[in-house]
Structure 1
Amino acid sequence: MNPFLLAAQRLLFSSLVTIIRAMPNPRALRGWCLLMAAGMRPFGGGWRRLVRRNLRLVYGDTLSVGQRRAIVRGVFEHSARGFGELFWRPEEHRLTVAEWCRVDGLEHLDAALAAGKGVLLATAHIGGWTLLPRYLNERGCVTGSLLRLPSNPVAHAAQAAAVSRMGLTFYNTPLSRDNAHACLKLLRSNGILFIVADRRSNDVKVDFLGQPAWCATGTASLHLRTGAAIVPAYAVRAGTGHRLVFEPALEPLASGDRKADELAITAQLHRIFGGWIRQHPEQWMWNHNRWRPRRHEMRG
């Protein structure tokens, strides 16, 4: 990368993070993030086209013009607020994550932990999803997170530093052999491994929001290998705060055919994710080419 461009990006990132961390409360943070979103929109033509294309694919002609516009606007706001929430530290403003959030279904997580085989906390890129591991860490749970940091070196370094400052243990994906062993060790010690599981991958194709999509089987594979419970959980924004929801653990029936079981569990998870997204479409990442086919399919 051009060194001058790299320096400019570092300065921009540093300035934005400094402003974000100075916000005195969640209301001020939300206001600043909405300003950032407004500043992003004039330069987001590619995002708008991709969001509209994905909405047509999933919803066809069932959305009104107003609904489509609200979701497109929400994608920019969701992205800006996610950026701000990643770098804003509530403890610097005498606020805990628990005070910033309403939490439902915690008994489901506790029941899964009581089984003693660890928990795979599976979520999607919806709402303030980064607050889930932060809340659990604050609660004193032993956690680790699978994260895919940005390829841009400035964003990569800034986000890695932010996550480390939160006191979170994270493993950048794709996993190295050492990190894969660390994840297994965490689960076997009854820890919680946080996985954002709605990313595109080339593992298997399942139905996602009514369309065939290539999806990752990592969550299913870890469950079959360790017996760790799979607990779906999500976070959605509500005003200046958040609602964190822990759902009952999945109860998959093992058939003895590992590939078939991975496919069934992955399909079940994506049905659950699809339900969340349909309830809160403006808070999901429609700006990703999630239904892109594999190369051999495009050639065919």
Structure 2
Amino acid sequence: MKPFMLAAQRLLFSSMVGVIRAMPNPSALRRWCLLMAAVMRPFGGGWRRLVRRNLRVVYGDTLSIAQRRAIVHGVFEHSARGFGELFWLPQDHGMTVADWCQVDGLEHLDAALAAGRGVLLATAHIGGWTLLPRYLKERGYSTGSLLRLPSNPVAHAAEADAVTRMGLTFYNTPLRREDAHACLKLLRGNGILFIVADRRSADVKVDFLGQPAWCATGTASLHLRTGAAIVPAYALREGNGHRLVFEPALTPVPGGDRKTDELAITTELHRIFGGWIRRHPEQWMWNHNRWRPRRSEMT
């Protein structure tokens, strides 16, 4: 990237982040993010086309025009809110993350931790998912997060700084050897490893929202290796705030063949993710080419 373009991106990014951090409360933050979404929409033709294509893959012709428009609108709104929430810190405004959230099912997480083998907290790109590890860190849980930072150097540096300012321990994927060891150490110490597990990967193909999709087996692999419980959890945006929902841990029964067990666990996780998404489709990131076939399948 040319130096002047890099400098311009840094200036634009820092200006946007500065405005976001200056928002005095969640209500003001939400209004600002809705304004950002309105500005983004006229330039988001590529996103709109991809969202509509994905909706056709999953829903066929069963959605009304109004339903499709609401989901497309929601993708822009929730993407903007996700960006804003990444850089807005409640503690800078006399609040806590807990003040920003309602929480259901935390007893399921505590029950899983009682087994003493750590927890893999598995979520999807739905709602304000970044609030999950922030809330747990604030409550004093031992946590680490697997994240994939943007490849753009300006966005990469800004997001890494934001996560650090939150006080989170994070490991950028794909993991380096030392980070993989740190994750195993966290789990063996009965900590919580946060994983956004609905990403596309070439590991296995499973049913996702009624269509075959390539999915990552990392969560299943870590469970089989460490015995850590898998606890599904998600975050929904409700008005100016969020509802964090922790569900009961999965109870997979190993069959003895690792590949078969990984496939079964990954299939079950994506069945759960699909249920969340069908109930709240406007809050999931449909702007990813999630059902793209592998190159070898296109020849």
TM-score by length of 1: 0.99
Mark the runs of 5 or more structure 1 residues left unpaired by the alignment: none
Letter in 2 for 1:180: A
Instruction: Please name the residue that 2:293 is paired with.
Output: 293
Q: 1:3 deviation in Å?
A: 1.1
SS of the equivalent of 2:175 reads coil
Instruction: Please name the residue that 2:156 is paired with.
Output: 156
Find out whether 1:43 has 2:62 as its counterpart: no
Letter in 2 for 1:241: G
Letter in 1 for 2:11: L
SS of the equivalent of 1:110 reads helix
Q: 1:211 deviation in Å?
A: 0.4
Q: How does 1:1-300 map to 2 (within 5 A)?
A: 1-299=1-299
SS of the equivalent of 1:151 reads coil
SS of the equivalent of 2:285 reads coil
Letter in 1 for 2:33: C
Letter in 2 for 1:24: P
Count of residues paired in the alignment: 299
SS of the equivalent of 1:181 reads helix
Q: 1:2 deviation in Å?
A: 1.3
Mark the runs of 5 or more structure 2 residues left unpaired by the alignment: none
Q: 1:4 deviation in Å?
A: 1.1
Runs of 4+ in 1 over 2 A off after TM superposition: none
% identical equivalent positions: 85
- Residues 177-235 of structure 1 show CA distances to partners (whole Å, capped at 9, x for unaligned) of 11100000000000000000000000000000000000000000000000000000000
Letter in 2 for 1:154: V
Cα distance in 2 for partners of 1:46, 1:223 equals 37
- Residues 54-99 of structure 1 show CA distances to partners (whole Å, capped at 9, x for unaligned) of 0000000110000000000000001000000000000011111011
Cα distance in 1 for partners of 2:239, 2:259 equals 42
Cα distance in 2 for partners of 1:296, 1:218 equals 22
Letter in 1 for 2:214: W
Cα distance in 2 for partners of 1:2, 1:211 equals 41
RMSD: 0.4
Cα distance in 2 for partners of 1:133, 1:193 equals 9
TM-score by length of 2: 1.00
SS of the equivalent of 1:82 reads helix
Letter in 2 for 1:149: L
Cα distance in 1 for partners of 2:261, 2:98 equals 36
Letter in 2 for 1:54: N
Letter in 2 for 1:215: C
